[in-house]
Structure 1
Amino acid sequence: MTIDRRTLLLGAGATAALVALPRPAQAAADATAAAANTKTWSADHSDNGWSIEADTIEPFRIEGSPATVRLHPGAAALLLHVARRWHYEVSPLRGAKDVLGHRTDRAVAAAFESNYLSGTAIALPGAGDGLWPHQKAIVRDILADCDGVVRWGADLSPAAEGHFQIDVRPDSKTLTRLTATFDNRSVKRNGPRPGAVDDPTARERRAKARRLEQVQADN
């Protein structure tokens, strides 16, 4: 069954919450600790095995939103699928500044951050203060769409709920298959409209999402 994503969000009954801002002293301490853990990534490949080559990076528009993001073309189909569903079902993307893709700054606080250097990771907004349970369930459903090719930062250490990365090497057969699938389903090729999605609460989809969560959260 296919349902409208905005209807799904309204049905979830999410409510807004006030979040206390950190005290200045604590914020300064956090910034100092982060700086102390920062290292320079000197390898020619990112942590997921993709080459770091700035001239391969291209800009891509996220369907249904005003946002664009710079990515490696080989990683784009899956990461754009993640970003599009995030926009409709988790937190709206209002412009280019809402999405982080490729970057050239080699300073990293964790190895997985190097995947931005190869254009094979994105950071999306709305997760800084933690996601609601229904939002996490949707993210798990998105990951199930991607058959383990995309990994969520919530399953990494340190956890980063806005982070998503390609978790296979560029010669992955599953990556190739899914890239073709998502390309064929794009709006430009008469695929489903951006606001339509298979029901993430369907029993088989929930079961698939739980199985993948067990695998990715344990690795």
Structure 2
Amino acid sequence: MLTRTAVITGAAIAASLPASQFLASPAYAAAVGKDPGPGTNPLSKKVREAVRRAEARARRVMTGKPSRNGWEMERVADDGGTIFTRPVPGTPLTGSAGIAVRMGDVETVLVHVVRRFHYELEELRKGDVIGWRSPGTVRKGLPESNQASGTAVQIRPGAYPAGTRGGFFPQQQLLIQDILSELDGVVRWGGNDHKPDESLFYIAVRPDDSRLTHAANRIRRWDETPGRGAGVLADVTS
């Protein structure tokens, strides 16, 4: 039988977590166990109702299908899933002009990439960066599908159309390779793909790859250290 504490905790977790996380949580497993029957704690009804809402949210948000890099694509952004519009500090990309990306380590890494691009390659304006795109608008077998999972961004796609190379000067290409190098392969540039998309930067590791967490933690330390992180000109020849 569920205790009062477990019931209240389960309801709180169901209300606060994204649907995909709650449905994989111990609280969900407890909530969908054997029905305690009539006469038991009425708070258990609240847990079952929270479970019902979480399942409905999952059906509305999650696709159950991975993008090219193995992360699950989501149908919507800013609406109960794991993908939300986030600001890029130090750029005009704030508020509603931010970029829609997957929260957590992915956000930390992709925001860092966009910030370095803004500071060191070309100054960005509102609307220059596209994050999440609906699964129906991307080609599933190509790296652009990673946008549908919130794990990729396109920077000025109109200036660097897919299928063409040479949009960046040699010095700019060195800077891009420096960004990739400092992240230890966690991010890939579409300009290095067989079918190039020089506007595209995407997470190149699977969800369970510890390198992503290590890269994100390193970026957070840089952001707290004067003279480190995005905005500090790098010696790309070192």
Whether TM exceeds 0.5 here: the answer is: yes
Q: CA contact under 8 A between 1:63 and 1:194: conserved in structure 2? A: no
Q: Is 1:168–2:205 an aligned residue pair?
A: yes
Name 1:127's counterpart in structure 2. Answer: 160
Name 1:23's counterpart in structure 2. Answer: none
Name 1:178's counterpart in structure 2. Answer: 215
Name 2:20's counterpart in structure 1. Answer: none
State the shift of 1:194 in Å.
Answer: 4.5
Q: Is 1:52–2:73 an aligned residue pair?
A: yes
Name 2:237's counterpart in structure 1. Answer: 201
Q: Aligned match of 2:176 in 125, 136, 139?
A: 139
Change (3 A) 1:132 1:184: same
State the shift of 1:198 in Å.
Answer: 3.1
Q: CA contact under 8 A between 2:86 and 2:100: conserved in structure 1? A: yes
Deviations 1:119-150 (A, max 9, x none): 00001125347111110010000100110110
Q: CA contact under 8 A between 2:120 and 2:231: conserved in structure 1? A: no
Q: Which has the larger radius of gyration?
A: 2
Q: Which runs of 5+ in 1 are unaligned?
A: 1-41, 203-219
Residues 29-40 of structure 1 aligned to structure 2 (within 5 Å): none
Deviations 1:74-102 (A, max 9, x none): 3111111111111011111111x110001
Query: How many Å separate the matches in 1 of 2:71 and 2:225?
Result: 31
State the shift of 1:193 in Å.
Answer: 6.9
Amino acid at match of 1:170: P
Change (3 A) 1:194 1:111: closer
The size of the alignment, in residue pairs, is 158
Amino acid at match of 1:45: P
Sequence identity (%): 35
Name 1:108's counterpart in structure 2. Answer: 138
Change (3 A) 1:134 1:105: same
Query: How many Å separate the matches in 1 of 2:225 and 2:192?
Result: 34
Q: CA contact under 8 A between 1:89 and 1:138: conserved in structure 2? A: yes
Name 1:3's counterpart in structure 2. Answer: none
Query: How many Å separate the matches in 2 of 1:43 and 1:157?
Result: 28
Change (3 A) 1:168 1:90: same
Q: Which runs of 5+ in 2 are unaligned?
A: 1-62
Change (3 A) 1:172 1:130: same
TM-score (norm 2): 0.61
Q: Helix, strand or coil: the match of 1:148? A: coil
Amino acid at match of 2:113: V
Name 2:92's counterpart in structure 1. Answer: 66
Q: Is 1:149–2:186 an aligned residue pair?
A: yes
Change (3 A) 1:52 1:193: closer
Which structure ranks higher in relative contact order (CA pairs < 8 Å, sequence separation ≥ 6)? Answer: 1
Query: How many Å separate the matches in 2 of 1:108 and 1:59?
Result: 19
Query: How many Å separate the matches in 2 of 1:150 and 1:93?
Result: 20
Q: Which segment drifts farther, 97-106 or 189-198?
A: 189-198
Deviations 1:56-83 (A, max 9, x none): 1122211221112110013111111111
Query: How many Å separate the matches in 1 of 2:182 and 2:217?
Result: 13
